[in-house]
Amino acid sequence: MRAPVHVFETEGTGMPEKDTATPRRRRLGQQLRKLREATGMTGAQVAKPLDWSAAKVSRIENGLTLPSEDDVAALVAAYGGDKPVLSQILRLRRDAAQKGWWERYGDSLPAGFRAFLEVEAEAEELRNWEPTVLPGLLQTEDYARVLMGHLAQPILQAPKTWLQDRVEVRVRRQQTRLHTSTPLRFRAVFEESLLRRDVGGPAVMLDQMESLVATSELDHVDIRIISTSTLLPVTTGPFVHFSFPDFPDLVYLEDLDGSRFMEDPEVVFKYERAFGHLAEAALDPLASRQLIKDAAAYWQGRVPARNGNVSQ
């Protein structure tokens, strides 16, 4: 059984964690492992003539360390690979080293959160359970700004530039993962109470509800809401379950102390089952959309009119 891989800090706390096994590094490491296993050599046998530690070989194969191009060339040579093989592996290495759009935000996004964004960028399906706030991929810009400002200040005393960068990143995530020609499949489950929890006032909430309705109509989006009258079948904090076309699934967990990816198949399966139970307890997509529309009407009736009275 594999141990959980600690990957990155929570988006809210900025608490740093350690090693990052991103999908692109995992892809590179997987190919290098296949080459090694084809020779029958162990990691220690490969490492000795290169004057490396066996741990270095292991970290490269597990995607925890990005090898240099010289390291890649040395490994391919040790495995008897020819020029076409070397070219293929070097392409994977360059792909793994490629910077994403999020890199421009620098220190506003700690290395761990950048790893989260890279994982999300590679996923083909994302399942998200959120018991306390709307899922990040569904939040409007104003909702996100109010929410992040409210949550961050008591703990971090975060500067305004940090907040603005995080809001921009959240909006960009939606553009690149939901509103694109190659979107991921997104499944979200959350509680009905979130539709009427005031985040920023009636105008912000009305805009958020209208955005939810529009997003719920996308073919690749499945939004299910658990009614306030329904007893939760599972008691757990928020989590994100990532699926990839050519790698095992990962689950992302977060709390005040930090965040981590879980890759142990048994653990991932538990969260897969948990999400399934939550989705079964929720209303179907059409009924969920009607709840959102009802909430929109609720907030519409509370938006102040120009004369200071609420709209009717």
Q: What is the pLDDT of residues 177-196, one digit of tens each?
A: 999 999 999 999 999 999 99
Predicted TM-score of the model (pTM): 0.80
Closest CA to 155 of 2, 286, 312, 11: 11
Q: Give pLDDT tens digits for 260-296.
A: 889 899 999 999 999 999 999 999 999 999 999 999 9
Q: Compute the distance between CA of residue 23 and CA of residue 55 in angstroms, rounded to an integer.
A: 20
The pLDDT assigned to 307 comes to: 58
Which long-range CB contacts under 8 A does 196-203 form with residues at least 24 apart? 196/295, 196/298, 199/133, 199/143, 199/146, 199/147, 199/150, 200/142, 200/143, 200/145, 200/146, 200/147, 202/299, 202/300, 202/302, 202/303, 202/304, 202/310, 203/303, 203/304
Q: Give pLDDT tens digits for 29-76.
A: 999 999 999 999 999 999 999 999 999 999 999 988 999 999 999 999
Evaluate whether 248 touches 268 at the Cβ level (below 8 Å): yes
The pLDDT assigned to 160 comes to: 66
Is pLDDT larger for residue 282 or for residue 308?
282
Q: Compute the distance between CA of residue 220 and CA of residue 5 in angstroms, rounded to an integer.
A: 29
Q: Give pLDDT tens digits for 77-121.
A: 999 999 999 999 999 999 888 888 888 887 777 666 777 898 999
Domains of the chain: 23-97 (1.10.260.40), 106-301 (3.30.870)
